[in-house]
Amino acid sequence: MIHALVAAAVLSQSYARSRANENDPASQCLWWKENTRIVYRVNQAGNTETPGDTEFDAIKRAFSTWQTELAACSSLSFVEGPRSPSREATYSPDDSPVNQNLVLFREKACKQQVAAGDACWSDGSCGNKYDCWQFSEGAIAITTTSFSPRNAEVFDSDIELNTPSYIFTTVDAPPCVRGAEAVTCVATDVQNTMTHEIGHLLGLAHINDAASTMNPRAVTGELTKRTLDPGSKKFVCDVYPKGQASKLCFIPSVSLEQGRAAKVGCEAASGLPLLALAALVLRRRR
Ligand SMILES: [Zn+2]
């Protein structure tokens, strides 16, 4: 008797969109206006421990991966701007220098250098005030998105990477042994991490599908998220179709909601690194 094991190659076509209130599935989805040229800028310091300029190249490849999909079927596009001197992952509705889509490696942990009683802990401003990683130690990176409280249109999205906790690498092989991470093997791959975070920047939320770029977990040596899964590609075409308006989840009502500052996200689970929390910062448009 022969038992044939057939591995059914079922390609996932699913994705989930980020919401204005992550705890409210009925809240509006985040969206960029159609035809937006999203200019991203990488902080000029890069990451000290990554050899040469390889981290800049890895970040560029991650944006290029998405840009290929955007160009094929969507109205959005990514444009690389000049390297930025800014260390501020934030957004101001005024036309100020902090208003850039910034990619930034935080080299120090706020916990090590900011007093517990500092007021910055309560309003989440420690990171920018002291140039440090203010989020959970277990998170590899955080994408902070600023959007309109009225209709959830995104104005700005910044990506911070957690250098104090993770060795960011750019080589393709071999995978590092856990506990012996170094820049000469694949520990926490910059391109793998950035491809996932750019998904957040575009409005994708996590899904519990191991084959998805938007799976929230990454193990030492992982490279699989460098490649977009079919669901994440479909998101780009569905939500930002070429020649059409961007797709919201519902038509906003006329009454203006009060914009309350909200920082929401997901929890890191037992010991496993959480690849990222899309920390959504609600800002009022003046
Ligand atoms: Zn994430």
User: In sequence order, what DSSP letters do the residues of 163-231 get, joined into one string?
Assistant: TTT--EE---SPBPPTT---TTSBSEEHHHHHHHHHHHHHTEE--S-TTSTT-SB--TT--GGGSPPHH
- Picking from 213, 161, 169, the residue whose alpha carbon sits closest to that of residue 187 is 169
Distance of CA 276 from the midpoint of ligand 1 (Å):
3
Task: For residue 178, give Cα distances in angstroms to 47, 59, 128, 188, 276.
Answer: 21, 24, 31, 11, 20
Q: Which phi and psi angles does 34 have, rounded to 5°?
A: -55, 150
Distance of CA 4 from the midpoint of ligand 1 (Å):
38
Burial of 124 (0-12, 13-18, 19+ CB in 10 A): middle
Q: Tens-of-pLDDT digits for all 286 residues of the chain?
A: 455 544 444 455 799 999 998 888 999 999 999 999 999 999 999 999 999 999 999 999 999 999 999 999 999 999 999 999 999 998 877 766 668 999 999 999 999 999 999 999 998 899 999 999 999 998 999 998 888 888 899 999 999 999 999 999 999 999 999 889 999 999 999 999 999 999 999 999 999 999 999 999 998 999 999 999 999 999 999 999 999 999 999 987 654 444 433 333 333 322 333 343 444 444 333 3
Distance of CA 43 from the midpoint of ligand 1 (Å):
21
Distance of CA 226 from the midpoint of ligand 1 (Å):
14
Rounded distance between C-alpha atoms, residue 250 and residue 262, angstroms: 21
Distance of CA 135 from the midpoint of ligand 1 (Å):
13
Domains and their CATH numbers in the chain: 28-250+258-282 (3.40.390.10)
Distance of CA 198 from the midpoint of ligand 1 (Å):
9
Burial of 232 (0-12, 13-18, 19+ CB in 10 A): buried
Q: Which phi and psi angles does 268 have, rounded to 5°?
A: -75, 135
Distance of CA 6 from the midpoint of ligand 1 (Å):
32
- Picking from 192, 190, 218, 206, the residue whose alpha carbon sits closest to that of residue 266 is 206
Distance of CA 103 from the midpoint of ligand 1 (Å):
15
pLDDT at 272: 35
Q: Are strands 154-162 and 101-106 parallel, antiparallel or unpaired?
A: parallel
pTM for this model (two decimals): 0.87
- Say which DSSP state 123 is in: H
Distance of CA 99 from the midpoint of ligand 1 (Å):
22
Distance of CA 131 from the midpoint of ligand 1 (Å):
22
